[in-house]
Amino acid sequence: MLLDNHNRHINYLRLAVTDRCNLRCNYCMPSEGINFVKNDKLLSINELKELSSILVGQGIDKIRITGGEPFVRKELMVLLRHLSKLKDLKDISVTTNATLIGPYIDELKELGIKNINVSLDAIDRTTFERITRRDQYDTVYENLVKLISEGFNVRINFIVLEGQNEQDIISILDIMKHYPVAVRFLEEMPFNGGSKSFKTIKWDYKVILEHISTVFPNYKKLVSPKTSTSINYQIEGHKSTFGLIPSFSRTFCGTCNRLRITATGDVITCLYGKPKANLRDLLRQAKSNKKVEEAILTAIGARAKTGFEAQQEHASVFDSSMTSIGG
């Protein structure tokens, strides 16, 4: 079992498989993209397989595949097939923009992958295109509905962006009320590759809830797992649920069970902190897994208590983009 220095049980790995993406969401990166790393700096599929096996051996039992956009990575399915055979891995999930997932839906189902998070920050096409800077609305919507109807446990991630998509908060709830899906509203974080900076946000989780309750006053709070980052609710008469994720307010650090590994092998123990080791270099140099295991244990043994503490570690944290941190 992996325990950090604050006695938190770390069992959840967010593994980024690429820093590339086919969208250019304006809260994630500038329109020209970021300096994507060279191919040889990315963990290879074999290295991703090896690292996952090491971490599952150490006590990770849930892996979420993220990026960049996971489905731009060639041979992603090779990795997912490997993960599906790890018997101590109880949960494999994927976070995706749902533009490229279509051809893989059947195989994902066959592999027993049930949990898919789809990023969708607008239900209105023009707003979607303005935010993502790409014309992919129909494909995303079609894939989203297909995933729901195929029985996946789908959660929509909707970042509330001041001046951009507030008007869609109610509209998305109104449309999704017919579907068994969780719509989760996230606070915007300043990880956008340096295109804008801010120290406060208008749309924090309390303001989002107040806004929803003016239109839908009849909702009940749901019981959520202790390590959940979302506070979850259901509106009377809706098939869907909704959640609020205080990603900027950071109210959930006390029960944080996550570890992140970026596409280049950096170990990140808090989104707001500095990378703590690079496992790619260790994997390439070492003849045994021991050094990799030790580096993971050392990083987990020195975690900041909260995101606010982690943020003190480096002044340039807010120059990063979520596509390279691995959201």
| Residues near ligand SF4, by CB under 6 A | 21, 23-25, 28-29, 67-69, 97, 119, 322-323
Of 144 and 292, nearer to ligand SAM (C-beta) is 144
Contact between 127 and ligand SAM per CB under 6 A: no
Sole window of 61-69, 104-112, 222-230, 276-284 interacting with ligand SAM (rule: CB under 6 A): 61-69
| Residue 231: strand pairing partners | 244
Q: Closest approach of Cβ 263 to ligand SF4, in Å?
A: 11
Of 60 and 122, nearer to ligand SAM (C-beta) is 122
Q: Closest approach of Cβ 323 to ligand SF4, in Å?
A: 4
Contact between 97 and ligand SAM per CB under 6 A: yes
Of 4 and 69, nearer to ligand SF4 (C-beta) is 69
CA–CA separation, 289 vs 216, rounded Å?
53
Of 185 and 216, nearer to ligand SAM (C-beta) is 185
Contact between 21 and ligand SAM per CB under 6 A: yes
> Among ligand SF4, ligand SAM, none, what binds residue 186 when CB lies within 5 to 8 Å by partner kind?
ligand SAM
> Among ligand SAM, ligand SF4, none, what binds residue 264 when CB lies within 5 to 8 Å by partner kind?
none
Contact between 262 and ligand SAM per CB under 6 A: no
Residue of the chain from 10, 148, 189, 261 that contacts ligand SAM (CB under 6 A): 189
Distances (CA, A) of 279 to 213, 267, 272: 46, 7, 19
> Among ligand SAM, ligand SF4, none, what binds residue 262 when CB lies within 5 to 8 Å by partner kind?
none
Residue of the chain from 119, 262, 264, 269 that contacts ligand SAM (CB under 6 A): 119
Q: Is the dihedral of CA 140, 204, 308, 303 positive or negative?
A: negative
Question: Shortest CA distance to 260 belongs to which of 243, 247, 274, 249?
Answer: 274
The phi, psi pair for 158, rounded to 5°, reads: -125, 110
Instruction: State the CB neighbour count (10 A cutoff) for residue 48.
Output: 26
Longest CA–CA separation in the chain, Å: 60
Sole window of 167-175, 189-197, 213-221, 222-230 interacting with ligand SAM (rule: CB under 6 A): 189-197
Report H helices in 76-202. Answer: 76-84, 105-110, 125-132, 137-149, 168-176
Sole window of 64-72, 75-83, 266-274, 288-296 interacting with ligand SAM (rule: CB under 6 A): 64-72
The residues in 196-255 that bind ligand SAM, with binding defined as CB under 6 A, are 247
Q: Is the dihedral of CA 178, 179, 182, 185 positive or negative?
A: negative
Question: Shortest CA distance to 73 belongs to which of 3, 112, 20, 4?
Answer: 20
Are the C-beta atoms of residues 44 and 50 closer than 8 Å to each other? no
Of 69 and 168, nearer to ligand SAM (C-beta) is 69
CA–CA separation, 169 vs 262, rounded Å?
31
CA–CA separation, 325 vs 308, rounded Å?
17
The phi, psi pair for 275, rounded to 5°, reads: -60, 145
Residue of the chain from 186, 212, 277, 299 that contacts ligand SAM (CB under 6 A): 186
Contact between 76 and ligand SAM per CB under 6 A: no
Sole window of 141-149, 181-189, 208-216, 288-296 interacting with ligand SAM (rule: CB under 6 A): 181-189
Residue showing tokens 């006590």: 59
Q: Is the dihedral of CA 318, 319, 323, 325 positive or negative?
A: negative
CB-based contacts of 107, cutoff 8 Å, min separation 6: 77
List residues near ligand SAM by CB under 6 A.
21, 27-28, 66-67, 69, 95-97, 119, 157, 159, 186, 188-189, 191-192, 247, 322-323, 327
